[in-house]
Amino acid sequence: MSNQAISIVCLLVLSACSSVQGAAPGKIGIPGIGQSTTVIVGCLNQEKSAADFDQAGAEVFPVPDGVVVTHNVIHACCLSGAVSSSIEGNLVTISERLTGEPCKCECPSTLRTAVGLAPGPWVIQLRLEKPNAPAQIVQEWDVKVAAPQP
């Protein structure tokens, strides 16, 4: 891959809570190399039932053909979420953007993003942008993506 940024197609799959809660990281489905898929559960998806987690935080799961990043976030109510991804060299940046006019309450959401990657070492960076605030790096991981088993 070149050092030039390669934009990844991001498909937002808005899904009901019951279909993703407790799902293993691979259940989201790993897209082709250079593509990503996102599932949003909870308040950002305008669901009446909230995402089910004990505390906010982010995890990365390397899987054959890519990675799955799960981000449990507590945020102002009344917002929507969008996710985009890009690759530059061995750096994958997943950018989550919360938009809208925030209400004065808080609610939880889970954003689960799968990115298809070639086997090898990668740096995964998760960024979050909230309304009226600059984007911040939530977490960064060094991971190794394994080749799929025949």
Tokens standing for residue 63: 């899987």
- Look at the alpha carbons of 101, 95, 48, 12 in this order and tell me if their dihedral is positive or negative: positive
Domain around 22: 6-145
Per-residue pLDDT of the chain (150 residues; tens, 9 = 90+): 333 333 332 333 322 222 333 334 336 888 888 899 898 888 887 765 556 677 789 999 999 899 999 999 999 999 999 999 999 999 999 999 999 999 999 888 999 999 999 999 999 999 999 998 899 999 999 999 998 777
Residue 48 lies in a domain: yes
Residue 109 lies in a domain: yes
Residue 47 lies in a domain: yes
- What's the total number of domains in the chain? 1
SS3 50: coil
Q: Hey, what amino acid is at 120?
A: G
Segments of 24-130 assigned E as strands:
35-42, 57-63, 66-76, 80-88, 91-99, 106-116, 120-129
Residue 14 lies in a domain: yes
